[in-house]
Amino acid sequence: MSTELQTPANLELRRKLDLLLKTGQLLVESSADTARIIRNMKRTAAFLGLPEKNLHIFVNYTMLMVNLSDDHHSFVKFQRCEKHGINMDAIAAVSKLSWKAIIEDYTLDQYEAELNQIKRKKRNYTDWQVAVAAGFACGGFCIQFGCDWTAFFYASIAAILGMRFRTFLNHKGSNHYVNIAVAAFLSTIVAWLSSFLSTDANIASALPSFMVSSTPWHPLMACALFIVPGVPIINFVSDMLDGYVQVGLVRFINTLLMVMAMAFGIAFAIGVCGINNFVTDLSMTPHHDYWEFALAAAISAVGFSTIFNIPRRLLPIVAMGGLIAVCTRNFINLGPSSGNIGLDMGLITGSLAGSALVSIIATQAMHWFHTPHHCLSIPSVIPMIPGVLMYRCLFAFIGMRGVVGEVTVAMHNGIMASLVTLCIAVGVAIPNIFFRRMLFLKRKKKLSDLLIQRRRLHGEFVDLNEVVEN
């Protein structure tokens, strides 16, 4: 390497680019949406003193690139992003750090130390805590489909075992999609075995009445829903709406592979068990009182929040958000036609209204609880994700024998799942869709004011034309 390239200025610049890439890598691997990744990287670049007019950021699902160039020089650095998961605690921490570094005038060493601390921080919940919480979340889904509370516990137990075994396989380093299929298979087998406690007359007569379910088959629909990739689905739609088509398509393909793996595991288990009424005969029409819907929604929201590594202090908030979202959806969806109180306007309209209401509330709540919008809105709407419709569709295609009615069932489930998912994602994105410019200007002004204060603190000349946009 030449002496020119090893000057203190060049070495410092390379370090800054490296810190910028590490910030983006942590966000990508924590499943932040692309708009947030770029927004946080630009804010970090402003702290690092990298002029936005000379900075170019490229985000891919597995690769980040930054380029800093002027008329005479060009610096390029790449960073691979390999370990994808969901860590909303890390997303919130990085967002807070990017602001804090500017406000408190961090040095590069301080910023790097705190960034490494975020990266090394253990998750908020143990594997068993996540498994139990996710299991009860699936039980909450089962209530939404019309099961009784006995079946709720059977669905939960099946999901707990499946989730824990999937985590075990992930730690062993086996293939991600194979782990999903195996977990779905195990959960479905356990749910099927639990049905004999209620359907077998000899067994049922020997058990206490509270252990006998009137809906013994419903756990089959909900026991594997801990696998449903709710966050990737919402991020996919969000990226497409924001114009990040390439990243969005990759997220979509990854989501599709996950659902296909889940459907394969369930289909294989259903074949082993010899069940032939999974797709068409099991009703999904809920008939509980609204307080039961509310309780089940809160349980599901909290359960999935542990998978997403939401901070513990936010769990009650997310539970309330899930309650609001599901009850709003059910009130608009259900009605006299299904023997419920409501407007009878259908699942699609109800899902859009429920997610939009929660998202609008989260726009204000994010300031109350000092956390990013998606850390409140996404866990709250996850209980509405139509996971059953997704794998019912794929299961129908897998088991298709060329009968016209089977094609109709598969297409109906697939179209409904797609439309409901789209409406949920659009509902979450409503503040960004309709108030994008206002939010952009507000963030830009806040960043500009902070940068001006920082320059004055250092006795530097303030040129408003050089203020980095956010």
For the stretch 417-433, pLDDT in tens is: 888 888 888 888 887 76
Place of tokens 């909290």: 302
Q: Tell me, what's the pLDDT at 400?
A: 59
**Can you tell me the distance from the alpha carbon of 320 to that of 180, in angstroms, rounded to the nearest whole number?**
29
Residue tagged 């599709």 (tokens) = 256
Of the candidates 256, 246, 238, which has an alpha carbon nearest to the alpha carbon of residue 59? Answer: 246
CA distance 235 to 248: 7
pLDDT at 186: 94
Q: How high is the pLDDT of residue 91? A: 93
Please tell me which residue, 252 or 387, carries the higher pLDDT value: 252
- Mean pLDDT for 14-21 is 90
Of the given ranges (262-271, 282-291, 413-422), which has the lowest mean pLDDT? 282-291
Closest CA to 138 of 223, 258, 230, 259: 223
The residue type at 53: K
- On whether the CB atoms of residues 333 and 406 are closer than 8 A, the answer is no
What average pLDDT score do residues 199-214 get?
Answer: 84
Q: Would you place residue 299 in the very low, low, confident or very high pLDDT band (cuts 50, 70, 90)?
A: very high
What's the whole-number average pLDDT of the chain? 83
Whether 75 and 67 have beta carbons less than 8 Å apart is answered as: yes
Q: What is the pLDDT of residue 457?
A: 62
The most confident of the ranges 141-145, 171-175, 262-266, 462-466 is 171-175
The pLDDT, as a whole number, for residue 114 is 94
pLDDT at 462: 44
98, 43 contact by CB (below 8 A): yes
**Domain residue ranges of the chain, discontinuous segments joined by +:** 4-121, 127-434
Query: Which residues fall within 8 angstroms of residue 167, CB to CB, at 6 or more apart?
Result: 127, 130, 131
| Alpha carbon separation from 277 to 166, 218, 283, 286, 449 (Å, rounded) | 27, 11, 10, 18, 63
Nearest-Å Rg of the Cα atoms of the chain is 24
What is the pLDDT confidence band of residue 435, given thresholds at 50, 70 and 90?
low
Categorize the per-residue pLDDT at 280 as very low, low, confident or very high, splitting at 50, 70 and 90.
Answer: low
CB contact burial 91-103 (16+ within 10 A = b; e otherwise): bbbbbebbbbbbe
Instruction: Show the tokens assigned to 404.
Output: 């016209």
Confidence of residue 450 (pLDDT cuts 50, 70, 90): low
For residue 1, is pLDDT > 50? no
Q: How far, in Å, CA of 441 to CA of 453, rounded? A: 18
**For the purposes of burial, counting CB atoms within 10 Å of the CB of 112, is it exposed (0-12), middle (13-18) or buried (19 or more)?**
middle
* Cα(128)–Cα(160) distance, integer angstroms: 9
Note the pLDDT of residue 120: 92
Please tell me which of 46-60, 173-187, 443-457 the model is most confident about, judged by mean pLDDT. Answer: 173-187
**446 vs 206: CA distance, rounded Å:** 68
- On the question of pLDDT at 214 being above 70, the answer is yes
Task: Say how far apart CA 125 and CA 27 lie, in whole Å.
Answer: 20
| Whether the predicted pLDDT of 35 surpasses 50 | yes
- pLDDT at 288 > cutoff 80: no
Across the beta sheet with 63-69, the strand order is 55-59, 63-69, 74-80
SS3 (DSSP) at 168: helix
- pLDDT recorded at residue 2: 46
Q: Looking at per-residue confidence, does 243 or 274 come out higher?
A: 243
Longest dimension (CA), the chain: 86
Helix (H, G, I), strand (E, B) or coil at 466: helix
Would the pLDDT of 235 be above 70? yes
In whole angstroms, how far apart are CA 469 and each of 51, 92, 108, 282?
9, 21, 21, 54
Distance, CA of 265 to chain centre: 22
CA-CA-CA-CA dihedral for 242, 263, 309, 315, to nearest 10: 90
Q: Which secondary-structure segment (H or E) carries 406?
A: helix 404-434
Instruction: Please spell the DSSP secondary structure of 94-109, one letter per residue.
Output: HHHHHHHHHHTT--HH
- The two structure tokens encoding residue 271: 């074949």
241-261 tens-digit pLDDT: 888 888 989 998 998 898 888
- Compute the Cα dihedral for 433, 434, 435, 440 and give only its sign: positive
Q: 464: which residues sit within 8 A by CB, 6+ positions away?
A: 448, 452
pLDDT-derived band at 464, boundaries 50, 70, 90: very low
pLDDT, residue 276, reads 63
Return the amino acid letter for 370.
Answer: H
Helix (H) or strand (E) segment spanning residue 57: strand 55-59
Using CA atoms, how far apart are residues 426 and 231, in angstroms rounded to an integer? 13
What's the pLDDT score for residue 126? 93
Residues making up the chain, counted from first to last: 470
Question: Out of 5-14, 226-235, 247-256, 346-355, which region has the weakest mean confidence (pLDDT)?
Answer: 5-14
